A and B are shown apart, each in its own frame.
Chain A
Amino acid sequence: MEQDSLQLLWHGMVAPQQSTETLKNMTGDKAHPVLKRIRRQMIIESIAFIVFMVVYYDFFDGNRKPRIANLVLVTGLALVIMHNVIGFVLAKELTIRHSIKQTLEAQLAKIKSFALISIFTRILAAACFLYFFTSVSDTTWVLAAIIIIFILQFVLLWTIWRNRIRQLRQAIDSLKH
């Protein structure tokens, strides 16, 4: 196989053809595979938090806790939901720059900022939860559960973001070297 024949082989490859209708469907948000997954996760988490907000007043004695503790808890939940929304928007937007290298560098900067926001909002949410449950201190097991859940979440988030950032860095480096 000579070098030019590589180009011949490349051009000779028969690719499956999508109909115009199928292509049209792909231009909408609803068909986007990543957005679909994030949207589903966002809806599940949001429903879970709303259910929690409805029942916490009775289950965790919200009525016996100071008003500020209730407010802080709701703020914590809102932060988690807001974080999901930001993630959804970020996944949707890939700002195309003049070159692939510039696009990847801009995306890396954006991912780094969001990673910080993501971890910061989770820590803040954890702090809000802790504040609520320590405002009347008779629920040690709940406290322990919250701490464990948030540590696990933090480790998971850290790992996900570290891998994403590493993957983008490697892609940029592969163009440079």
Chain B
Amino acid sequence: MDQEQFLHHISQHQGIIHKICRLYRHSKEDREDLFQEIVFQLWKSVPGFEGASRFSTWMYRVALSTAMAGFRKKQPDIFYTHELPHTHEEPEPDDQRERLFNALAQLNDGDKALITLYLEGLTYREIADITGITQMHVGVKLNRVKTKIQQLLNIK
């Protein structure tokens, strides 16, 4: 794959990189740094992409690995409540997205990776392949994560 093809693919899929940055880093500056780091690692890892899997599948693997392996400065302690603030009015889609991201941000690194891949619409088999854990373990963990998010978002 030459640089032009690579940039075309990245341009098409950059939304997922932004989402990963938002999940794994707290400040705007750290997110921008991580975005650059992911693009850099993807480009460096291109020779290892054999085309056996889809570009997006390979990209998830590199992007999530980079986000999880990167050294992060210790964040100030944040104390989360068991539920996000509940409003009686029907939230706007942007509010709902914000609530979803706030809920996802409370998960640990591994759970963030699993739920990202799940929300992207990958099968358990694909998730197992990317993360390196068994399909059964993916199922068990995802059920746990989904229940946790339901609780945080007040879904009955």
Contacts and interface: CB of A to CB of B under 8 A. Distances in A.
B88 interface: no
Interface stretch (A56-64, A98-106, A140-148): A98-106
B8 to A, nearest CB: 8
Nearest to B111: A174
Interface in A125-177: 163-164, 167-168, 170-171, 173-176
Given A33-B33, A100-B130, A168-B69, A174 B14 contact: no
Given A100-B64, A104-B68, A18 B155 contact: no
B136 interface: no
Closest 5 CB pairs of A and B: A99-B132, A174-B110, A101-B132, A15-B18, A175-B110
Contacts of B130: 99-100
Contacts of B153: 1
A23 B70 CA distance: 20
Contact of B33 (A34, A98, A99, A173): A34
B100 A98 contact: no
Given A1-B155, A100-B64, A174-B110, A6 B37 contact: no
Contacts of A117: none
The interface size bin for chain A is: 35 or more
Contacts of B45: 96
Contacts of B108: 170, 174
Contacts, number: 134
Contact of B109 (A3, A27, A171): A171
B119 A104 contact: no
A161 B153 CA distance: 37
B54 interface: no
Given A32-B36, A96-B45, A171-B69, A101 B119 contact: no
Interface string A5-22: 011011111011110100
A68 interface: no
